[in-house]
Amino acid sequence: MKIALDMMGGDFAPLEAIKGVCDYLSSTPDPAHILMIGDETQLQPLIQQYQPAPGRFTVIHAPQVIGMHEHPTKALKEKQQSSIAIGFHLLATGKADALISAGNTGAMLVGALYSIKPIEGVTRPTIGAYMPHENGELGLLLDAGINADCKPENLEQFAILGSLFVQKVWNRPNPKVGLLNIGEEEGKGNLLAQATYPLLKENKLINFIGNVEGRDVFLDKADVIVCEGFTGNVMLKMAESIHDIVKRRNIHDDYFDRFEFEKYGGVPVLGVNKPVIIGHGISTAPAFKNMILLSQKIIDIDLIASIKSSFKKDA
């Protein structure tokens, strides 16, 4: 198993990426082989210093970097020797089994959609956001911002993708799927929610529990909550801001500590043909380690095959 990691992506790269790799390699039984993609002149001194387990990684030189604020499509096209572009090349040609980056999110999405491509039957791949439940679990909210305008069919697909992720990756059987809405009863909501409800209700691939509201996001009511990416993104950023406020106000609380979204690592692009993990720009070593572990799990359980089979015609 080979996992490609963009060593140059994120605010604290490549240092934190190296530290994350070292920690992963030394603490994981039977670890994956890590393809460290990045600028060799920056990576070698750090490798000398931190000494990742020999034989368990390969450095792949990438002389270019796509900056956090570069235009994704343009940058990917013009910087073919960037760590992200090389990463997608490795993934697309089967030389890597997963790709991870905490770099330019847009470039990662463009690469996932146009180089790796959506799974047949998936109209709109999606990325989610983890929402900490008060009972200690995590929920998955999707879409978290890449699909700002959605049709009912898109939300139905997010529900299937999210269910499979929670079931297979988090080992939670029969995950509860809720439709984000502004009322509890069927028939409530905006036109999109009203039209989505019957689709979810009749879909046999998911365990639909009905509408959930903004007040239910941090509760154990649903494992997966689906909405269009506009509301999802607003909610994610609002939750992140709660964490900032809690920190600024010096509040120490086990629950609110779990709002530190970067520590979860990253979220997969669900619905594309290979595992692609996008990390937070402020990822530190534990986040990089967690992203590698997540990739390993997704490959181990072959999540992609499960998704493909769910989206097969007559599935």
N-terminal to C-terminal alpha carbon distance within the chain: 29
Q: Counting Cβ atoms within 10 Å, is residue 185 exposed (0-12), middle (13-18) or buried (19+)?
A: exposed
Per CB under 8 A, contacts with a copy of itself among 113-152 are: 134, 145, 148-149
Task: Compute the least distance from the CB of residue 228 to a copy of itself, in Å.
Answer: 7
Chosen residue from 39, 186, 213, 260 binding a copy of itself by CB under 8 A: 213
Task: Compute the least distance from the CB of residue 243 to a copy of itself, in Å.
Answer: 10
Alpha helices for 111-228 (secondary structure H): 152-168, 191-202
Chosen residue from 93, 248, 313, 314 binding a copy of itself by CB under 8 A: 248
Q: Is 236 in the site for a copy of itself (CB under 8 A)?
A: yes
Chosen residue from 30, 54, 93, 215 binding a copy of itself by CB under 8 A: 215
Q: Is 240 in the site for a copy of itself (CB under 8 A)?
A: yes
Per CB under 8 A, contacts with a copy of itself among 252-281 are: 253, 255-256
Task: Compute the least distance from the CB of residue 229 to a copy of itself, in Å.
Answer: 7
Task: Select 23 or 223, whichever has its Cβ closest to a copy of itself.
Answer: 223
Stretch that binds a copy of itself, among 42-50, 233-241, 279-287, 290-298 (CB under 8 A): 233-241
Task: Compute the least distance from the CB of residue 69 to a copy of itself, in Å.
Answer: 11
Instruction: Supply the DSSP string of 69-132, one letter for each residue.
Output: TS-HHHHHHH-TTBHHHHHHHHHHTTS-SEEEESS-HHHHHHIIIIII-BPTT-SS-EEEEEEE
Helix (H), strand (E) at residue 17: helix 15-27
**Torsion angle of the four alpha carbons 81, 83, 88, 90, in this order, in degrees rounded to the nearest 10:** 80
Chosen residue from 154, 231, 284, 290 binding a copy of itself by CB under 8 A: 231
Residue pair 77/64 in contact (Cβ under 8 Å)? The answer is no
Task: Select 27 or 190, whichever has its Cβ closest to a copy of itself.
Answer: 190
Q: How far apart are CA 109 and CA 74, in angstroms?
A: 13
Per CB under 8 A, contacts with a copy of itself among 160-199 are: 180, 182, 189-191, 193
Contact partners, residue 115, CB within 8 Å, separation at least 6: 88, 89, 91, 92
Chosen residue from 44, 80, 245, 315 binding a copy of itself by CB under 8 A: 245
Contact partners, residue 88, CB within 8 Å, separation at least 6: 76, 99, 111, 112, 115, 116
Q: Which residues bind a copy of itself (CB under 8 A)?
A: 134, 145, 148-149, 180, 182, 189-191, 193, 213-219, 227-231, 233-242, 244-245, 248-249, 251, 253, 255-256
